[in-house]
Chain A
Amino acid sequence: MTTSDVTGERYNLALVGVPNSGKTSLFNALTGSRQKVANYAGVTVERKSGGFVTPAGRQVTLLDLPGTYSLRGRSPDEIITRDVVLGKRAGEMPPDLVLCIADATNLRLTLRLILELKRTGRPLLMVLNMFDIAKRRGITIDVDAMSAALGIPVITSIAVKKGGADALRARTDEFAGHLPGPTAATEWVPTSIADLKAYQREADRIIRETVTMPTRPDSLTTRVDAVVLHPVGGLVILATILFVMFQAVFSWAAPLMELLSDSFGALGALVAQVLPEGLLQSFLQNGLIAGVGSVLVFLPQIIIIFLFILLLEDFGYMARAAFLMDRIMGGAGLHGRAFIPLLSSFACAIPGIMATRVIDNRRDRLTTILIAPLMTCSARIPVYTLIIAAFIPATDVWGWINLQGLVMFGLYVIGIASALAVSFVIKFFMLRDYQPAPFMLELPDYKLPRLKSIFIGVTTRAKMFLQRAGTTILSMMILIWFLASFPQPPAGAEGPAIDYSLAAMIGKALEPLFSAIGFNWQIVVALIPGMAAREVAVGALGTVYAIEGGKEAADAIGQALASKWSLATALSFLAWFVFAPQCASTLAVIRRETGGTKWMVITFVYMFALAYLASLITYKIAVAAGLG
């Protein structure tokens, strides 16, 4: 083929297949993107587009789609895939060629899906992915016979190996040459039960004729599951994993964090030495270094929590955890498939809320969305860590558990418990006419996490955090520094300069509303920009106290807090952030995913009310106990 053949339009490919077959891995390999890949069904819930160029110079647009077992469109993610394949999406032509991605070790459901796809009239190409695993297990597939039986071309690939997608890239040209032009949306009717059965029989027949499989299932999976899915032992293991994860967030990160925090302190001191006293010095030292710096020091913690979650996801543990938790969550009115979105929310509620698209029942999905922000997201880590480090002694309990880590774990547990409680209340009072929806989830074979993909995953998240620090957090800090510095006090004024600033005026105006829960005006001021991103609250406190306290306070915000707040105030502040009305971006995602403002407002109001109530109770009890 020569390049002259390929002038003209872009060529549109779409990746379709059952969940967890490696579509996104292939998408990343072909387009060089870094979309999320993990070993469980339902990772991709959006349509993602990318591009690549074939060896002959053809421009190709590639769509990555959510996995689906059929074209039925049961849940929001499956509907996206169905609509793209059928060309039902407004303003979008159906793909020129559908790449049917199959997990070569697990062909039964894929072949049935392909037979169903054939009915749509789209040109198809089957990609036998994970060919490395199939080989290792001794599965042999007669590729030519399979192609003949299906009546479509079949190629093999190893999406996660360098060069493993070359065959596909190269042969795209070949297929592109012989395609019928784009067709209008086909007449398509949902597959009937009789058809489904017939397709499955046909698929099983093709497998019998073209595939030989060893009779024994994957031995790693069998052995690990015997332990991990033990009815009692499994739950103990799950609890241990979570416990170790939260302890690690606290104890492993501490040395690195101190290093970072000392460096920022030294940097601040340097600025103070080099620059003359004045606005510029104050801006750099108090606004940038004390503000943004106090958020940046939490990078190690963020990395550790993501590392844990990524390892669990890549190994294939998530679906097992969902299995173990199904009945327990069911008691609180949650669907088993809510588990993975909720666990992802420990990282950030936004991907967690997006991941609820895999839940087909609307009520189940809505409940999950409402409680996802109660899961302790990584943005709360800075707040928790700062307060805990300042107020809780770093002693060991029973000789080996770090007390600070234990308190941290306790805060996570309170978050989880209140999420379950809220779900329980919703079940009883609001959405009552409800039949439990079916729970069916594939438990994929375990895969040893690959170092490279974990590394990519962690660096991507770390970059996102730094990017946020450089944009949202930075701009909020500039705002706070400005508010806390202007207007400047009149000449000869008494007391700290900050008392004359706008920040103090705003804070003091709102303080009466919050004095019942023990918040002073500095906290109130920090809460407002905390709506943009929760970590900003920490940075804002850093800036406010740095400006107030002058040079000495700038590098030790923890010490400043310890000397200025009572323990009761600190505990009340922690309680507030367990529920803290979430950040603006979470609210925006809730509005988008629920299709209206109503549920966004409900979430905001209920979380605000819970936060106030929790702080009130905490504060009153603490004061009564003499900690005020």
Chain B
Amino acid sequence: MRLGEAPRGFVGTIVALHQDAAGATSHELEQHLLEMGFTEGARVEILHQGAIRQDPIAVRVDNITIAVRRREAMAVLVK
């Protein structure tokens, strides 16, 4: 499952940073996500979401909270 599709309240772990539908997660995006702590095995929880199309989302990654857009969160595979 992709973090970008998960509902509010979702709790899980990151399996991998993965290619998007077109098969191309940009190198840059992967690096950026890694720098913010989205690494394999990290615990994630979707705490809040925005009003318009439920975007962006506030994600608890281990013990910090990060705001990301669902678009970018699509590159994060979770279970």
Contacts and interface: CB of A to CB of B under 8 A. Distances in A.
A551 interface: no
Given A193-B31, A196-B35, A231 B63 contact: no
Interface string A228-251: 011110110000000000000000
A472 B37 CA distance: 48
Interface in B15-74: 27, 29-37, 39-41, 47-56, 58, 60, 62-69, 71-72
Interface residues of A, number: 39
Contacts of A439: 56, 67-69, 72
Given A109-B64, A197-B39, A229-B58, A440 B32 contact: yes
A286 B71 CA distance: 61
Contacts of B29: 438
A489 to B, nearest CB: 65
Contact of A225 (B27, B33, B47, B68): B47
B47 A336 contact: no
Nearest to A235: B51
Interface stretch (A177-185, A301-309, A322-330, A590-598): A322-330
A443 B30 contact: no
B75 to A, nearest CB: 10
A323 B27 CA distance: 25
Contact of A319 (B40, B49, B55, B67): B67
A443 B65 contact: yes
Interface residues of B, number: 35
B15 to A, nearest CB: 14
Nearest to B60: A217
Question: Residue among A72, A106, A442 with the most chain B CB within 10 A?
Answer: A442
B34 A327 contact: no
B35 A323 contact: no
B65 A70 contact: no
B56 A327 contact: yes
A500 interface: no
A442 B66 contact: yes
B3 to A, nearest CB: 13
Interface in A27-73: 69-70, 72
A628 B50 CA distance: 46
A200 interface: yes
Interface in A527-557: none
Interface in A56-115: 69-70, 72, 74, 105-106, 108-109
A322 B67 contact: yes
A232 B51 contact: yes
Contact of B55 (A72, A217, A327): A327
A213 B18 CA distance: 30
Given A193-B30, A193-B34, A436 B71 contact: yes
27 contacts: A69-B35, A72-B35, A106-B63, A108-B64, A109-B35, A109-B36, A201-B39, A213-B63, A217-B60, A225-B58, A229-B58, A230-B48, A322-B67, A323-B48, A327-B55, A336-B56, A436-B69, A438-B29, A438-B69, A439-B67, A439-B69, A440-B33, A442-B64, A442-B66, A442-B67, A443-B65, A443-B67
Given A327-B50, A442-B64, 13 more contacts: A74-B32, A109-B35, A197-B39, A197-B40, A229-B48, A231-B49, A326-B56, A327-B51, A327-B52, A438-B69, A439-B67, A440-B32, A441-B66
